Structure formats: structure tokens, C-alpha cells
Structure 1
Amino acid sequence: MSFSCTRIVLAAVLVAGATALAAPAQAAGGHRALSHFDDGSFETPKAPANAFTGLTAGQTIGPWKVTAGSVDLIGAGFWQAAEGDQSLDLNGSGSGTVAQSFTTVPGTTYSVTYALAGNPEGGVALRTGRALIDGQDFQDFSFDVTGRTRTAMGYVGHQFSFVAQGTSTTLGFASTVAGAYGPVVDNVQVKECKPCCG
């Protein structure tokens, strides 16, 4: 899987008092805090095999929280995952948003990679959405499902980087297409990068 690379630096001035979804983990004994990003493949909880679980705003998928609309957690065997057994359709009954907060070191650059596909079952051919950092649009994405099937999803790798502004950062993914067939994300990873590409 190839990755498209975008280097983006978050503006130093963010809206004061922006709230993270979860409190940052504390560094013990004055040691430098490390990024603690979990379950980028949406493996917990388990959705029914060959089926999916619909989730709405306020519900959680492991460390992820559905912050708007609805999403579908896709179980093993329903369609091809990019990594592990499960993946996430960013549209449940309509467009949805998920987000996860994790510990970061202010001033440190982090790389985000993720696999993108689209629900091949119906709707318009082009699935669109965006990746968010602390609620700000960091990368718009689109995926054309023409010719794609459940067994040949055609995942494409995406990448961008950001400079952490605080001790906690929130990564989100939002669908921007209406209806029940959305972009599909899987294999999300966040790592401190030295150097970042670009």
C-alpha cells in the first residue's frame, strides 16, 4: 500500500479552551510523556462476524468516541479489512465522526497514517471525508468505489504530520458524504516522526 504524504503544521494559535475528549495521561516521575494511541484498527469491541454494529454520537469504540452522527463498526468477514479483522465505515444511517485523544509532547512532530477505502455497497461512487486534529481540518480525502467489492476494497494509504500544541491531542475522522455508504478507515497509526516526510 502506497502512502500519499502531506506535511501540515498546526497553527500555533488555536481557539483557547478547546476541550480534549479525554484527559491526557500523566508522565510519571517527570519523564517525557510518550504518545499512547490505541486501537487504530478498530478491533475492540468485536462486532458480529459477517455483520456490523451501528453506533451513534456519545457511544465508544474502544478508545474512540463517536462525536457526531453515526458510524458502522464492521465485523470480521463482512468485507476486507486493511489490518486485523475489523474496520470502520464513517457512515451509519448518515455521516458520522469519530475521535480519540492521546498524550503528546508540545512542539513535537507526529506522523498520522491510515488506510482508506469506501463502502462498496451503494450510494454515490465518491466517498469523501476529512482527518481532524483538535477539531481542525487537517486533510481532506476521497475514495472512488467504482469496481470495488467486499473482497477487493482497494485500500489506499494516506499520511500527514502535525506539531502538537499541548499535552493531549485529539485525532478525528469525519465523513462529508450523505447517506448510509461512507468512507472506510482502518489501520490508523500515530508516531513521533524524525524526520517527517515532505
Structure 2
Amino acid sequence: MRAIGTSLTATTAAAVLIAGAGTAMAAPAHTTGRASGPAASSLSAVSRFDDGSFESPKVKANTFDEFAAGQSFGPWRVTSGNVDLIGAGYWQAAEGDQSLDLNGSDAGAVSQTFTTKAGSRYTVTYSLAGNPELDRVPVLKTGKVLVDGQNVQGFSFDVTGKTKANMGYVRRQVTFVATGPSTTLTFASTTLHSPTGPVVDDVTVERCKPDCCD
């Protein structure tokens, strides 16, 4: 497993960071509207956002596939650097079988564009861990979430004490206001000059109804 100079076209988007770094969890179930997020009754599914668990394409068990800038896998496109799509059994996934190391040979970024309604507020929820191979530094894996090229949340994860069997995933959230009929969500590593980076999985995007996220 392998820094990016993320150069995405910036589109103004209002963003509100949900307080807190998330709740530690071992092997979360894939559900909509978890206890750690807004009430399920205040959220609705987002059109066309897909494969937040990085299940496509299937990677050979106990291995990983590297994808470079300009390549796509499922609905995700690598927008800078390179990333590793992790197959079943290589290490613990937060949901399903596969997950994504945001560092391939070096730091990378992935994006997905989905339908939104201008002026509506959306909540992105995801599971965060880090590549636990401790022979590779640094132990603190860092990255950021971008909406239409705007940095809306930085994140970090310390892999000290973590193993492939116990990744120590935490849930994180960030909320943004869409500015147009489509929005591009990006996860980018800022762990430079390292083949081991932050790991993301179980990404969901939900539209807030008027009584939530205030």
C-alpha cells in the first residue's frame, strides 16, 4: 500500500462539521441513520450515491488492487495519486468485505459525483481507520473530506495498537449544503511519502429533512 496534490475545481459549498471525532466500533452493521448520527426519521436516501463500502469490483481475497489517477472502480474515480482497494480477508472491513486505503504507493484521492438539490443539507457519514502495518511510518494517518473541491473536514487516525484483525474503526460525520444539481464528494489522504494511509469504508450520504441538522 502505497500524497497528493489534490487539484479539484473549487465550487463554493457551505459546510457544517458535526462535533466530535466519532464513536469507536469493532464491526458495525450497515444501516441508515445510526445512533451516532441524526435520527433516521430526519434523513432520506440520496439519488445515485452508490457503493460506499467499496465492494466493486471484487478484489481477490487477501490481496489488494492499486488504482491510479484517472482510473475508476465502481462509481469512484481516482482524482490524484493512487489508492489501494482492499479485498476480503486482507484486514477487517467496517462493512461488507472490502475497504479503501487512501495511499497506494503514495497518497491519493477518490471522488464520486451524485445528484443533489441546491440549498438542501446533506450528511456524510463514514468509518475511518488506518493501515496498521507498523513497519511503515507514520503511525498517524491523516486526510480530508472535500465537497466540490472545498475542504470541509480534516481527519486523523493513530494506528498504534491496531491490527488487521482489529482495525478500530470510528464513525465520522460532516454536513454540507448543496449548491447545485450535483455534488462531488472526495476523500483525500494527506499522509505524504508513505505507502500506508488512512482507511475509509461504509460511506453514506443522506439528505437532511427540514427538522434535522439545525
TM-score (norm 1): 0.82
Quote the offset at 1:83 in angstroms. Answer: 0.3
Q: Name 1:183's counterpart in structure 2.
A: 198
C-alpha distance in 2, partners of 1:11/1:183?
Answer: 25
Quote the offset at 1:193 in angstroms. Answer: 1.3
Q: Name 1:47's counterpart in structure 2.
A: 59
Point out 4+ residue stretches in structure 1 off by more than 2 angstroms. Answer: 9-12, 194-198
SS of the residue corresponding to residue 76 of structure 1 reads coil
C-alpha distance in 1, partners of 2:173/2:152?
Answer: 11
Tell me if 1:135 matches 2:149: yes
Tell me if 1:10 matches 2:24: no
Which of 34, 37, 50 is 1:38 aligned to?
50
Q: Name 2:90's counterpart in structure 1.
A: 78
Aligned pairs (5 A) from 1:1-198: 10-11=13-14, 35-121=47-133, 122-178=136-192, 179-194=194-209, 195-197=211-213
Q: Name 1:20's counterpart in structure 2.
A: none
8 Å contact from structure 1 (residues 35, 192) kept in 2: no
Quote the offset at 1:197 in angstroms. Answer: 4.0
Quote the offset at 1:196 in angstroms. Answer: 3.6
C-alpha distance in 2, partners of 1:80/1:123?
Answer: 20
Deviation by residue 1:159-196 (Cα, 9 ceiling, x = unmatched): 01111100000000000012100000000000011244
* Structure 2 alignment gaps of length 5 or more: 1-11, 16-45
Quote the offset at 1:10 in angstroms. Answer: 2.6
C-alpha distance in 2, partners of 1:152/1:140?
Answer: 23
8 Å contact from structure 1 (residues 64, 100) kept in 2: yes
SS of the residue corresponding to residue 186 of structure 2 reads strand
C-alpha distance in 2, partners of 1:197/1:124?
Answer: 35
Aligned-CA RMSD value = 1.7
Identical-residue share of aligned pairs (%): 63
Which amino acid in structure 2 is aligned with residue 80 of structure 1? Answer: Q
Q: Name 2:26's counterpart in structure 1.
A: none
Q: Name 1:16's counterpart in structure 2.
A: none
C-alpha distance in 1, partners of 2:73/2:120?
Answer: 27
8 Å contact from structure 2 (residues 14, 176) kept in 1: no
What is the aligned length? 170
TM-score (norm 2): 0.76
C-alpha distance in 1, partners of 2:175/2:143?
Answer: 17
